[in-house]
Amino acid sequence: MHISRRKFLRQTAYATSALASASTLAACGIFDKNSQPSESVTEDVPRPVTQNKQTLYIYGWSNYVDNREILDEFTKETGIKVFGDAYDSNEVMLAKLEASGGRSGYSIIYPSDYMVTQMREKKLLAPLNKQLLPNIKNIAARYLELPHDRGAVFSVPVSLGTTGIAYNVEAVKSVVGEEPTDWNYLWEHKNKLRITLLNDPREVMGMGLHIVGQDYTTKEPQNIDQAFQKLRELMPAIANFTTDAWKEPLASGDLMMCMAFSSDAINAAREDPNIKYILPSDGTSIWTDTIAIPRGASNIEGAHAWINYVMKPEVAAKISDAISLATTNKIAKPMISDDLKAIKSLEPSEAVISKSYRLTALDPEVQQIHDGFWTRLITGLG
């Protein structure tokens, strides 16, 4: 079962045994191999700070920590038991690690690219020992030189995702006729559509900025206000701001079109041929999920073993197939399933990339401006 990249799973731990196929933990729908959960905890239960080398605690998006097969294989290969907890946003993860003062108990985290920048500035990440990561050679070179962490000093990008449009083909054709190709379609047909936008201020405000010809990361208040005014024009068509709760209404036709993350939308399209996911031809948001080691990690050796393990081509291919995200692993690409490779929107074309943006960390005062306009937008205030 695929679980949304952003869906919060209360911290559930699975232990893996080195002697048998005991329970394990894994990434978004990747693992499932005769394993049983051995421990369940709530989000408030702290992880032990003192660990031995046979235990590894992971903190990540649910789609990287809820699958058992790969973790089970990791335990068989290394003898290291794995426990995992999930978060629903980069900000939740950041807050928890900051509050712990380097004593969170986690040795692996999965920050998205812009969050790596913030965590580097706050000195919350441990540098990687490349000598313990021979499989890093499998990662395509261009992903190792992204601006959030040039040279992959503190993080390794493992998945490539996008933000785009998921839509019900029959519903759109019956009401509008033509299918969407870009973001402007939402405004052109706002009186006919019933849509949702993400419950994500950076993505939505960024899309609004893009529509009015501005950069996703502009610092000018007047530009952000212009994007806000443009987004307000869509309010009659917006049923909700939601990141996860659009799939069933979209499949049934109650919704016609949804702004969505590629992992969720492509998975929905793989399950229902009446749902399509497109990357807007006028550009969009492109992001990468990374894997990193937090400062204060107590099992540094085990953490490097895990990072090296998930960079094995066959493992990376399983992860990509399970979470419906493109892989940064150049050797793994030919190994992913045919149905996933057949989806054109899995990876952006060079034409789309040239018109797209990556979210970057904002200065606090600019973030405050974004937050203010976002509050006004979702509450319907003028």
Q: What is the pLDDT of residues 154-163, one digit of tens each?
A: 999 999 999 9
Contacts of 256 (CB under 8 A, 6+ apart): 167, 168, 171, 172, 175, 176, 193, 194, 195, 250
Largest Cα–Cα distance in the chain? 62
Q: Exposed (0-12), middle (13-18) or buried (19+): which is 107, by Cβ within 10 Å? A: buried
**Same domain, yes or no, for 242 and 355?**
yes
Question: In this model, does residue 237 exceed pLDDT 90?
Answer: yes
Q: Which domain holds residue 106?
A: 12-160+288-341
Instruction: Give pLDDT, residue 200.
Output: 87
One domain, residues 34 and 100: yes
- Cβ-Cβ contacts under 8 Å for 129 (sequence gap 6 or more): 300, 304
- Structural domain total, the chain: 2
SS3 category, 229: helix
Task: Please check whether residues 111 and 60 belong to one and the same domain.
Answer: yes
Say whether both 198 and 314 belong to one domain: no
Q: Which of 39-43, 177-181, 346-350, 373-377 has the lowest mean pLDDT?
A: 39-43
Please tell me what DSSP assigns to residue 101. Answer: T
Residue 85 belongs to a domain with what CATH number? Answer: 3.40.190.10
Q: Render 323-377 in DSSP notation, one character per residue.
A: HT-EESBTTTGGGS-HHHHT-GGGS--HHHHTT-B---PPPHHHHHHHHHHHHHH
Summarised one tens digit per residue, pLDDT across range 39-95 is 333 344 567 666 678 999 999 988 888 778 888 999 999 999 998 898 878 888 999
- Using CA atoms, how far apart are residues 21 and 31, in angstroms rounded to an integer? 12
Strand ranges inside 174-231, DSSP E: 195-197
CB 302 within 8 A of CB 55: yes
Environment class of 37 (CB within 10 Å of its CB; exposed 0-12, middle 13-18, buried 19+)? middle
